[in-house]
Amino acid sequence: MGVFTYEQFKQRQKQIELKALIALAEFGNKPQQYTACAKLEKMAYPEKEAKKVYHNQEQTLEDY
* pLDDT tens sequence across 18-49: 999 999 999 999 999 999 999 998 888 878 77
Closest CA relative to residue 40, chosen from 19, 21, 14, 20:
21
Does the pTM exceed 0.85? no
Closest CA relative to residue 37, chosen from 15, 17, 22:
22
Closest CA relative to residue 40, chosen from 27, 23, 56:
23
Q: Name every residue whose Cβ is closer than 8 Å to that of residue 50 and which is 6 or more positions away in sequence.
A: none
